[in-house]
Amino acid sequence: MLAIACARRKRPLPMPMIPATAALPCPLWRRLIALVYDLLVVVALVMVVGLLCQLATGGQLISTGTRTVIPIWYQLLQGLVVAAYFVSSWRRGGQTLGMRPWRIQLARDDGGTPSLPQAVLRVLVAAAPLLLLALEPLLGLHTLLWTLLAVWAGWFAPALFDPRRRALHDILAATEIRRLD
């Protein structure tokens, strides 16, 4: 019946506007699965940057021996490339490749696209636990990885209790992940 009424009007009925404040918060499980998807993109980016750096240094980028030495400039370059992926994705539409199939989007508290300072702050806070990697010689790899996992669990723990499901990096950057469905 409604289809017949729409056909007679020859104009589609307007969609009701949903205010930004009524957007649905994203459940934690959906965020984490999208993060796994993004991990695949990050691995590909790291591999391409690694290949280019190996070619540029004639295969002498990483020295091995009694201890493996990875130059600090290379680590910073990898971090910069990965951060640029996230920041540019969030600034252009609020979605990374991993967020698209799960229909979730990063937004400011008022519903707009995150500003450059917000996106940079968010990626820096989210990546801050990676600084623990410097403790690997003291803790050992096994202990370090468990510590890193525990710290990241603490980073996401507020999302279990916050009504808007914001993790620590969302709270500090004044952003949130919203469902698009």
Tell me the C-alpha distance between 174 and 107, whole Å. Answer: 9
pLDDT at residue 61, rounded to an integer: 87
pLDDT in tens, 6-28: 555 555 444 344 444 457 889 99
pLDDT in the model for residue 21: 46
Given a cut of 60, whether residue 141 has pLDDT beyond it is: yes
Residue 165, burial from CB neighbour count under 10 angstroms (0-12, 13-18, 19+): buried
Q: Identify the bridge partners of residue 92 per DSSP, sorted by sequence position.
A: none
Q: What is the mean pLDDT of residues 50-61?
A: 92
Helices (H), 59-181: 72-91, 116-127, 136-139, 141-156, 158-161, 168-173
Give the C-alpha separation, 46 to 82, whole Å.
Answer: 8
pLDDT at 65 over 90: no
Helix (H) or strand (E) holding 52: helix 28-56
pLDDT of 145 > 70? The answer is: yes
Query: Mean pLDDT throughout 53-75?
Result: 87
Q: Report the chain's terminal Cα–Cα distance, integer Å.
A: 26
Neighbours of 131 (CB within 10 A): 10
The 10s digit of each residue's pLDDT in 155-164 is 999 999 999 9
Quick one: tokens of 7?
A: 């056909």
Q: What is the pTM of this model?
A: 0.81
Average pLDDT over residues 144-160: 91
Predicted confidence (pLDDT) per residue in 85-120, tens digit = 999 999 999 999 999 999 999 999 888 999 999 999
